[in-house]
Amino acid sequence: MATEIGNNKKFGTAPVFLTAISTILGAILFLRFGYAVGTLGFWGVILIILLGHSLAIPTALAISELATNKRVEGGGEYFIISRSFGFNIGATIGIALFLSQAISVAFYVIGFTETFEFVFDAYSNAFGGRVLPRQVISIPVMILISVIVLKKGAGGGVKTLFLVNLILAVSLLMFFLGKTDFGEIQGGRIPIGDIRNMDQFFIVLGICFPAFAGITAGVGLSGDLKNPSKSIPLGTLSATLIGMIIYILVAYKLAVTVSPEEMLAEGNQLIMKNIAIGGAIIIPIGLAASTSSSALGSLMVAPRTLQALALDGLFPSKKINNWLSYSRKSDNEPINASIVTVVIALAFILMGSIDAVAKIISMFFMVSYGSLCLISFLNHFGSSPSYRPSFRSKWYISLLGFVLSVWVMFKIDTKFAFVAVIVMIGLYLLINIIHKDRLGLESLFANALFQVNRNIQVYLQRSGSKVKQKEWRPSAICISKDSFVRSKAFQLLNWVSYKYGFGTYLHRIDGYYSKATHKQAEEELAKLIDMYDTTQNHLFVDTIISPSYTSAIVQAIQVPGISGMENNMVVFEYDKENPKDLPEIIDNIGLIKAGAFDICLLASSSKEMIFRNGIHIWIDFSETENASLLIMLSFIISGHPDWRRAPIRIFEICHQREYEETRNKLSELVQTGRLPITEKNIEIIVVDTDQNFRSIINEKSGKAALTMIGFSAEALKRNSDILSGYDQVGSILFVSCHTQKEI
């Protein structure tokens, strides 16, 4: 887990604002906004700005909210995401965030190189059209910026930001004061229908999106801020709103002073210099100021994200984590993480294409934007008492930001978006392998799930009385003190709950409630959950402390099931070979019947269950209620993967005179019930009056994985021997139905 290195908290709100605004008003503003207005028209670009800020503003609000809920340490966005989604999810997004920040450095340095367009033109003219590589300037510039940050640290970088933002403000002022002949004719009027080429809308958005991606840049300084909960919201939101206003004004100025043809003309990507007063000098200087300040901001933020990842022990080698998390003692600078950032930036500078790098940045930023908005939404929806930010957004704004982030990512480039998602999934799986002990995704969703479950249960309770006809499904409860001796009761309840039903398994602690038994219950519950922690386990497991079996049953049957519906079935279990617990179960049968519950008695045999041998059901049509429940339960149990392709066989014992009537009843029952049982799996056994029924069941079902037999609760009270005599049969489920079920 990350810990803060040093206590050198030296920054206020200004660095957050300057880092964000200098990143927002960067290379895109000078180099690509003229192309955007020329391609889409004024109103088309307004849509770009509005959509971009539909992503940016919810993210700014979300991050401001999250920053005021808890102390944000070093790592900024990564810290927030990892402490909300858990370390493994947080690390996955954190790596994408770090790469986007590091690549941004290259993006802005490549943009800075365009300031020297005149140098490249002069070289081409002097050497007969030969092209001078941009890297001739971009690489030395990258090295110079790196030296500033590595030598002077964030403090030196912030001082530089004050200067370059002043230059940027002057260049923009000169741009807005500039005039053109086209502008004089236009008279400041925008054509009503100035919108075109909307088929290229998302292509332009992909190129321009990094202009809106700078809003969270200042958050990366969180570990160096005196008061992050104040500086992050104020600095981020003010930079976002001022940036949006400036972009709208620039779009307007371009639309009313330059023709679309001129904006799209080859070699006119720095079109703003044709408008500004002294534009040939002041706009290139403004471009240099904006791109260098953006590069500086990203170069200050990216290493802090990487350092936070290392402090959390992301990388498999302790030496790597220690090396990357190292801070220079004199100023607390993440010097080694800065070196790695510089190397990555230099690698992307060699690519040289500003548009290609812009698309990569857009994808990574949208992943982190969407994550931040999702965290805010889930925290709102979960209504956790510990979530008490002093600044609050609205849940629907955060949800909108998340949905738009995902939608826009795929609209810009579907193939690239799929690749990005696959890479993120692969990265998460790799991190999950390295750090198996680090989970946490459940913690964020847990509160939301609690709210959903509560609302559903309240709704079901309120609407339940209005439902005239209810479809039956089992909501079973089982109480057992032998959970660590025999597992078949747990298995049975899990089979019932897997697909069609609901189940609550209660492990009974014998004794009175006390500090000691409470601790015992916690330990044994954790052990049970660990024992049955599989994807095919759909049971709710808990413990119950009670001095007697009867009191435990009374407690349990009065509590609603986890599904929200009332429990309607009680499952008992005993050892078939040593039924010492059976008398206690029989003593409580009357109590269960009083509550109108169906009753299942599982006689657990030590005999191995071979699932392919299937389920055998023994029907007695003199007890029609039991027949319907036996068939329904067999179908429900067979829905579990354990019973895949296992046959269900139905047997009925009758006298010769009852044969036709019995077959017709069985056939009708199977056909009208739409059950996956074929005629060949139905067997009617004709017997004489004096023949022993148990011997027939022993013979026919000796190899069955599970045998199901109906019984009468009243008859069981009078004679417990009705459950014995099945020595050759394995595990048996005896079933007593309270009311007949509609199959």
**Higher pLDDT, residue 383 or 182:** 182
Please indicate whether residue 542 or residue 192 has the higher confidence score (pLDDT): 542
pLDDT in tens, 593-631: 888 899 999 999 999 999 999 999 998 866 777 888 888
Comparing 160-169, 242-251, 402-411, 633-642, the range with the smallest average pLDDT is 160-169
Q: How confident is the model at residue 733 (pLDDT cuts 50, 70, 90)?
A: very high
Q: Which amino acid is at 433?
A: I
* Percent of the residues in the chain that have a pLDDT greater than 70, as a whole number: 83
Is pLDDT larger for residue 144 or for residue 441? 144
649: which strand partners?
616
CATH number of 13-436: 1.20.1740.10
> Is the Cα dihedral 316, 317, 318, 321 positive or negative?
negative
For residue 466, pLDDT over 50 is answered with: no
For 183-197, the pLDDT digits (tens) are 788 777 776 778 888
pLDDT of residue 84: 67
pLDDT digit string, tens, across residues 673-729: 555 566 778 888 888 766 778 889 999 999 999 999 999 888 888 888 889 999 999
Q: What is the pLDDT of residue 697?
A: 92
User: Residue 514 — pLDDT band, cuts 50, 70, 90?
Assistant: very high
What's the rounded Cα separation, in Å, for the pair 53 and 209? 10
Burial of 14 (0-12, 13-18, 19+ CB in 10 A): middle
> Over 80: is that where the pLDDT of 5 sits?
no
Q: Where are the beta strands (DSSP E) in 612-657?
A: 615-619, 648-654
Fold classified for 469-736:
Rossmann fold (3.40.50)
Q: Between 222 and 29, name the one with better pLDDT.
A: 29
pLDDT in the model for residue 15: 77
pLDDT digits (tens, 9 = 90+) for 390-415: 677 788 888 888 888 888 888 877 88
The gap between the terminal CA atoms of the chain, to the nearest Å, is 55
pLDDT of residue 572: 92
Q: Which residues contact 664 (CB under 8 A, 6 or more apart)?
A: none
Per-residue pLDDT at 489 exceeds 80: yes
| Total residue length of the chain | 743
Q: Which of 52-61, 252-261, 361-370, 670-679 has the lowest mean pLDDT?
A: 670-679
Spatial distance between the Cα atoms of 691 and 24, rounded to a whole number of angstroms: 91
pLDDT mean across residues, the chain: 81
Q: Could you give the residue range(s) of every CATH 1.20.1740.10 domain in the chain? A: 13-436
Is the per-residue pLDDT at 377 higher than 80?
Answer: yes
d(CA 429, CA 495): 30
pLDDT tens-digit series, residues 30-41: 878 888 888 898
Count Cα neighbours of 289 within 13 Å in the Cβ-side half-sphere.
22
State the Cα–Cα distance between residues 540 and 317, nearest whole angstrom: 39
B/e letters for 523-545, b = 16+ CB within 10 Å, e = fewer, are: ebbeebeeebeeeebbbbbbbbb
Max avg pLDDT among 54-68, 466-480, 671-685: 54-68
What is the rounded average pLDDT of the residues 332-339? Answer: 85
The yes-or-no verdict on residue 4 having pLDDT over 50 is: no
Phi-psi region of 188 (alpha: psi -120 to 50; beta: other; left: phi over 0): left
CB of 724 closer than 8 Å to CB of 693: no
Instruction: Determine the pLDDT at residue 380.
Output: 77
Name which of 512, 428, 444, 582 is nearest 94 in CA terms: 428
Assigned token pair, 716? 């069981």
In tens, the pLDDT along 410-445 reads: 887 788 788 878 888 888 888 878 877 665 555 556
Whether the CB-CB separation of 207 and 363 falls below 8 Å is answered with: no
Question: How far is Cα 381 from Cα 375, in angstroms, rounded to an integer?
Answer: 10
Residue 1 has pLDDT above 60, yes or no: no
- DSSP, res 686: E
Q: Where on the phi/psi map is residue 213: left (φ > 0), alpha (ψ -120 to 50), or beta?
A: alpha
Over range 78-95, report the average pLDDT.
76
- The DSSP annotation for 518-579 comes to HHHHHHHHHHHHHHT-STT---EEEEEEESSHHHHHHHHHTSPPTTSSPP-EEEEEEESSS-
Q: Please state the rounded mean pLDDT for residues 62-83.
A: 70
| pLDDT level of residue 519 (50, 70, 90 thresholds) | very high
Out of 6-10, 131-135, 538-542, the most confident range is: 538-542
User: Would you say residue 467 has pLDDT above 50?
Assistant: no
Token code pair at residue 318: 């302790």
What would the mean pLDDT of 171-192 be, rounded to a whole number? 82
Contacts of 616 (CB under 8 A, 6+ apart): 649, 651, 700, 701, 704, 706, 707, 708
User: SS3 breakdown of the chain: % helix, strand, coil, rounded to 5?
Assistant: 65, 10, 30
Q: In the chain, where does the domain assigned CATH 3.40.50.12370 lie? A: 469-736
Residue 233: Cβ within 10 Å count: 23
Instruction: Identify the band that residue 575 occupies on the pLDDT scale cut at 50, 70 and 90.
Output: very high
